[in-house]
Amino acid sequence: MESISTAHINQFINDGFIKIADAFPTAIADECRAILWKATGLDPHNPKSWTQPVIRIGELALEPFKEAANTPILHNAFDQLVGKEAWLPRVTLGSFPIRFPAEEPATDVGWHVDASFPGEDATDYLKWRINIRSKGRALLMLFLFSDVSEQDAPTIVKVGSHLDVAKTLEPEGEKGLSFMELAQTLDSLPKRKQTIATGRAGTVYLCHPFLVHAAQDHHGTTPKFMAQPPLLPKKEFNIYRSENELCPVEKAIRKGLKQ
C-alpha cells in the first residue's frame, strides 16, 4: 500500500495540487470509458457524430467507477491530506464532462472555484457557496479516464491560487461566498503561473478545495473523458487548531491567511 511522499504533501500545501499517475488501473479506465461512450449515445468511431463540444453524464453508481475511486494509493493519500479516516469513501464519481473536438466553442470555460454547500436555492449550483473552512468539501479530484495531452482540453489550474482564495474567504466568515460571488473576485487576485492537468488514463489529480481552475476547448482528435468529484469530509475542518493538529488541507488555508 503506497503512500505519497513528504515532497508531495509540501507541493499540495504550496501549489494546491498533486498528480498521482497510475492511481487506478488502465483496465478500469477502459471499462469506465466504454460505459461513458454508451451513455453519450455517440459512435466512438464516427467523429462526424461529435457535434457538441461537451456532453455531461450524470452519476453512475457502477462497480468500475467505485473501484477507480477506492484504490489503496488513493485511500492512503486521502488519509495523508485530509486526516486518517476523516473522509467518506466515494461510491460514485459525480458527473462526467466529456469534451469533444468540435467547431462550436464550449460555454463552461471560465475560471472558478467549485462550491461545496447549498445556498438559498439548493437546486441552483451558481448559488452554492464556499467558506473559509471548506464546509462540505475535503478535496477536488480530477480522474482521467482517457489519455489527456496538451491538445485534449486538459483542465487549467492556477498554481498556488488556493492561498489567495483563502485570504478572500476569511472576511466572509461562516456564510462564505456563492460560486458566482467568488468567481467575480478571481481577476483581482495576484497573477499566478498556470499549468495543465495532463496524463495517461488512470491518473488522478488531488486538488485543494480552493484551487482556481478552468476547462478549455478541445483542440485534439480524441475525446477527453474525466470525472471531477469532491472528496467529502466526515467532519468539518477546524483551521484554528494548533499547528501540529492540522491536516495539509487546513495547513494550506492557514498559510494563505498569513500571506
Query: What pLDDT score was predicted for residue 1?
Result: 52
User: What digits encode the pLDDT tens for the residues 58-79?
Assistant: 999 999 999 999 999 999 999 9
Q: Which grid cell is 96?
A: 462526467
Phi first, then psi, for residue 2 (nearest 5°) are: -75, 150
Q: Give me the architecture of the 6-257 domain, per CATH.
A: Sandwich (2.60)
Q: Domain limits of the chain? A: 6-257
The rounded distance, in Å, linking the Cα atoms of 126 and 249 is: 24
pLDDT in tens, the chain (259 residues): 588 999 999 999 999 999 999 999 999 999 999 999 999 999 999 999 999 999 999 999 999 999 999 999 999 999 999 999 899 999 999 999 999 998 889 999 999 999 999 998 889 988 999 999 999 999 999 999 999 999 999 999 999 999 999 999 999 999 999 999 999 999 999 999 999 999 999 999 999 999 999 999 999 999 999 999 999 999 999 999 999 999 999 999 999 999 8
pTM, full prediction: 0.96
User: What digits encode the pLDDT tens for the residues 166-209?
Assistant: 999 999 999 999 999 999 999 999 999 999 999 999 999 999 99
Q: Which residues of 145-175 are buried (b: 16+ CB within 10 A; e: fewer)?
A: bbbbbeebbbbbbbbbbbbbbbbbbeeeeee
